[in-house]
Amino acid sequence: MNVREIELPGIGRKFEMITRSNEKIVIVVHDDGRREIYHFDEHDHDESISSVTFNDSEARQISAIIGGIVYKPRALETVEMAFDDLVIEWFKVENNAAAINKSIGEIDVRNKYGVTVIAIIKKNLKKILNPGPQAMIEPGDTIVICGERSELKAVIKELLSSGGE
Amino acid sequence: MDHLVFEVGTALVLVAIAAVIAGRLKFSIIPFLIILGMLVGPHAPTIGIINLKFIESAEIIEFLGRIGVLFLLFYLGLEFSVGKLIKSGRSIAIGGTIYVLMNFALGLAYGFLTGFPLYETLIIAGMVSVSSSAIVAKVLVDLRRTGNSETELILGIILFDDIFLAVFLSIMSGLLLGGATSIGGTILSVLISIGYMMLFFVIARKGSPVLNRLLNIASDEIFIIVVFAALFFIAGFSETIHVAEAIGALLFGLALSETEHSKRIEKLVIPFRDFFGALFFFSFGLSIDPLSLGNTLWLTLGVVALTILGNFVAGMIAGRRSGLSHKASVNIGLTIVSRGEFSIIVANLGIAGGLMPILKPFSALYVLILAILGPLLTKESKRIYNVLNKVFKWSNQNSKSK
């Protein structure tokens, strides 16, 4: 989708886009923090048929909802982003999983499975990005791993699910 | 002198009431304040100790209004940066040029045809050419038109128009305030004005590192004192070399527009601009005798009709040239037709330069009519388009060409 960005001197900035279904949407960000969204007639792009105004905090909330940020945490366990066969997966380490209380170096998934641990999200939502070999996996952690689909499956089954090895 | 504060206070209460009413009606406060000023003023009754003639306080109110002009133009200077204009692109430069040239030419023709002398004609042409940034921006936001496709062209034309205003006022203040009698002297004082203006342009482009350092003041209190002191000093100094004080304020704003502090200054200035600006319109109204308006009625109506026509045609040309639909182009002309603060400032410059006093009621009536009519035309642009569409058959043409 092509977004046109236009300065409105004295008012703010305007973002204009036409969706695939030929609906024109315009977002105006006012200098005073207000945001307005205009929706234009499908057949006449000069005729605004509806508009909404948000204040700054409302706008942020709405944008988070549209952007999928608000809803994402619940989906955290199974969200997949597939680029052909390369997959990034969020997985919450289950209780009694084999990897618990072991360090990244100990489980050595990179050499054994060809899977990389990109991040560990701790129970308190603290993120460890690109964790080193001494980073520990604890109960309740969510770990973000990247690799080929079959290998990820193996790692999850053998190391991260309860009742594995 | 005892009741001075009380008198000014009474005036402010009236201004506040007018502003609240205007807000309720969702209308620009400009015409309300001018009408209010005309209604009180020299003809108003005295009720007890409340004296609505504002005789004792007239000078003070006038002075506060003068400060209003300084803030209005200072803010204008801050808002338009040369960089913004360059960025805004070709269609705006073309649209703006068409708009200014057409209206200025129409104004000149009208002035000459109705028998005004040269300087008066120039002032009339200036008044006709500058639309009101305040009203137009407000109307666009209020009517929720900011998302429309013609909006950036409208704002661009206005930006262009504001720059024209700066150049025009500089030259005119050289012509009128220089007091030169010979042609050589007149040329010299115009050159001084232009040189003075160029000086500030250069400061804006090259001097911002120095200004950035000078204005690097953490305390808002000290910051505002420094900025306002410089503003009044430069405006006042400009007067001594026969450049209108309003121009001094505008140029100072321009010089600061490219600095890192421009946003901070804008924020600080807006409340002052709004408050003193309101007093400016009120005091302008005070200085006008409502009975004198009758003499200029026909003359004004003529120029109003001409302005609407000129704006409409210029808007159509500018809009169509930059690839907008007929509907959007109709909106352009009908939106920029509003006249307000700048037309009054142009007329006041003429009065200050000793031109015919008729300019005052003329400008008052002109601004009143177009400050009321402009937003109405903008609001009804769809209906006007539908009527015009029946005459010109635009939408049929479009579907045929597709």
The CATH number covering residue B369 comes to 1.20.1530.20
Q: Chain B residues with CB-CB distance to A under 8 A?
A: 79-80, 84, 87-88, 133, 137, 140-141, 144-149, 151-152, 155-156, 158-159, 325, 327-328
User: Residue B83 pLDDT more than 70?
Assistant: no
Which domain, by its residues, includes B343?
69-273+297-392
pLDDT band at B45 (very low <50, low <70, confident <90, very high): low
CA nearest neighbour of B120 among B132, B111, B133: B111
Task: Write out the H or E segment, with its range, that includes residue B31.
Answer: helix B29-39
Evaluate if residue B1 carries a pLDDT over 70: no
Evaluate if residue B93 carries a pLDDT over 50.
Answer: yes
The token pair that represents B43 in the structure block: 């003809």
pLDDT tier, B396 (very low <50, low <70, confident <90, very high otherwise): low
CA separation for the pair A131, B271 (Å, rounded): 52
Q: Is the CB of residue A100 less than 8 Å from the CB of residue A93?
A: yes
More confident residue, A100 or A83: A100
In angstroms, the first-to-last Cα distance of chain A is 48
- Residues in chain B closer than 8 A to A7 (CB atoms): 84, 87-88, 152
| Inter-chain Cβ pairs, chain A and chain B, closer than 8 A | 61
- Cβ–Cβ under 8 Å, residues A52 and A104: no
Last residue of a domain, one of A16, A36, A66: A66
pTM over cut 0.90: no
> What is the pLDDT at residue B88?
65
Residue A140 — left, alpha, or beta (φ > 0 → left; ψ -120 to 50 → alpha)? left
What pLDDT was estimated at residue B394?
Answer: 77
Q: What is the CATH number of the domain that holds A112?
A: 3.30.70.1450
**Are A81 and A62 contained in the same domain?**
no
pLDDT of residue B222: 92
- Comparing CB atoms, the residue among A8, A40, A45 nearest residue B146 is A8
Mean pLDDT, rounded, for B27-36: 88
Chain A closest-CA separation from residue B393 CA (Å) = 16
* Cβ-defined contact of B155 to A9 (cutoff 8 Å): yes
Chain B interface, mutation test: which of A8, A38, A45, A48, most B Cβ atoms within 10 Å? A8
Query: Residue A72 — pLDDT band, cuts 50, 70, 90?
Result: low
Is A36 within 8 Å of B151 when comparing Cβ atoms? no
Mutation site, B78, B139, B141, interface A, largest A CB count within 10 A: B141
Structural domain containing residue A43: 3-66
| Residue B376 located in a structural domain | yes
Mean pLDDT, chain B, rounded, equals 86
What's the domain count of chain B?
1
- Which of B155, B327, B328 has the CB atom closest to A11's CB atom? B155
Return the pLDDT at B275: 94
Q: Going by C-beta distance under 8 Å and a sequence separation of 6 or more, which residues neighbour residue A40?
A: A23, A24, A25, A26, A46, A47, A48, A49, B147
Whether residue A148 is found in the same domain as residue A99:
yes
Tens of pLDDT, residues B233-245:
999 998 888 888 8
Token pair 């200085």 is at which residue?
B287
For residues B132 and B298, the answer to whether their CB atoms sit within 8 Å is no
Contact between chains at A28 and B87 (C-beta distance less than 8 A): no
pLDDT tens, position by position, B287-339: 888 888 888 888 899 999 999 999 999 999 999 888 888 889 999 999 999 99
Q: Is the CB of A3 inside 8 Å of chain B's CB atoms?
A: no
- Using one digit for the tens of pLDDT, what is the confidence trace for B109-166? 999 999 889 989 999 999 999 998 888 988 888 888 888 888 888 988 888 888 888 8
Would an 8 Å CB–CB cutoff place A43 in contact with chain B?
A: no
DSSP A97-160: BTTTTEEHHHH-HHHHHS-EEEEEE-TTS-EEES--TTPEE-TT-EEEEEEEHHHHHHHIIIII
Which residues have C-beta within 8 Å of that of residue B219, sequence separation ≥ 6?
none
Say yes or no to pLDDT of B397 above 60: no
- Most confident range (mean pLDDT) of A5-14, B92-101, B171-180, B329-338 is B329-338
Question: Would you say residue A108 lies in a domain?
Answer: yes
Q: Which of A11, A27, A30, A46 to mutate to test the interface with B (most CBs of B within 10 A)?
A: A46
Listed residues A48, A66, A84: the one ending a domain: A66
The predicted structure's pLDDT at residue B16: 94
Kindly indicate the confidence band of residue A76, based on its pLDDT and cuts at 50, 70 and 90: very low
- What confidence score (pLDDT) does residue A83 get? 53
Mean pLDDT of B218-230: 91
**Same domain for A108 and A141:** yes
Sorted by sequence, the CB contacts under 8 Å of residue A114 that are 6+ apart come out as: A147, A148, A151
- Of the candidates B147, B149, B159, the beta carbon closest to that of A28 is on B147
Residue B3 lies inside a defined structural domain of this protein: no
- The beta-carbon neighbor of A46 closest among B87, B137, B149 is B149
Tokens describing residue B190: 């115009």
Amino acid found at A131: P
Which helix H or strand E contains A25, and what residues bound it? strand A24-30
Q: Report chain A residues whose CB lies below 8 A from the CB of B79.
A: 9-10
Total count of domains within chain A: 2
For residues B271-294, give the mean pLDDT: 88
Looking at the structure, tell me whether residues A85 and A103 fall in a common domain.
yes
Does A165 reside within a domain? Answer: no
* Cβ count near B289 (within 10 Å): 13
